[in-house]
Amino acid sequence: MARPMTFDTEETIDRAVEVFWQRGFGATTPQNLVDELGIGKGSLYNTFRSKHHLFQLAIRRYCADRAAQLTKALDGPGPERLKLRTAMRNLAGVGEHQLGCLIVNSVAELGSSDEAVADVSKEMFDLIQDAFRAAIERGQASGELIPGRDPGDAASALLAVVIGTNVLAKAGRAPSQLTRLLDAALIDI
């Protein structure tokens, strides 16, 4: 008879986000997961099927959390440029950590060879770009942001800056440098 599960699956996925974010997929062993998550190897495989499946759940959780933060930063009252700045800083983790972005890190590590990472990254990057485009359109309509610039192109440029800033953060650049980079990207919007 199987023993009942004695851990919270959702909490375990949250902790797995941190493990994969700090180590990357390839450098995370099943033993690392067992040790860091506080579950047995049998529970790891019985509950999550494989390291890769747990990784998929973790990156999807990470994206859901980031999407909620993005929505919070861009919704509500206030100047669109300031909301975009806040959203970009949050997405890049400026001043919070030097881990970069789990999705950017995963794309850099696994490229298009991992279909799950490719799918999740496309979804996340599209979501960010769409949210930026909507904020730029609102700012242009209110007269706050420069009219006439294609909002989709501007949103693509901001996404590229956020991705690059994540890489620079992981490489150890100072938060002040990263902030200046993000602010410079907003000048022509």
Give the N- to C-terminal CA distance of the chain in Å, as an integer.
62
Q: How far is CA 133 from the centre of its chain?
A: 18
Range of the domain at 62: 9-187
Domain contains 170: yes
Q: What residue spans of 24-114 are helical by DSSP H?
A: 30-37, 41-48, 51-74, 80-92, 102-110
The answer, yes or no, to whether residue 3 has pLDDT greater than 70, is no
Domain contains 1: no
Domain contains 2: no
Residue 187 contacts residue 97 (beta carbons within 8 Å): no
pLDDT digit string (tens) for 91-119? 998 888 888 899 999 999 998 899 999 99
Where does residue 150 fall: left (phi above 0), alpha (psi -120 to 50 degrees), or beta otherwise? beta
pLDDT digit string (tens) for 110-167? 988 999 999 999 999 999 999 999 999 999 999 999 998 999 999 999 999 999 999 9
Domain contains 146: yes
Helix (H, G, I), strand (E, B) or coil at 79: coil
Domain contains 114: yes
The answer, yes or no, to whether residue 5 has pLDDT greater than 90, is no
Question: Looking at the 3D structure of the chain, how many domains does it have?
Answer: 1
Q: What residue spans of 93-150 are helical by DSSP H?
A: 102-110, 115-142
Residue 177 contacts residue 107 (beta carbons within 8 Å): no
Residue 165 CA to residue 53 CA, distance in Å, equals 28
Q: What is the CATH number of the domain that holds 18?
A: 1.10.357.10
pLDDT digit string (tens) for 7-57? 789 999 999 999 999 999 999 999 999 999 999 888 889 999 999 999 999
Domain contains 99: yes
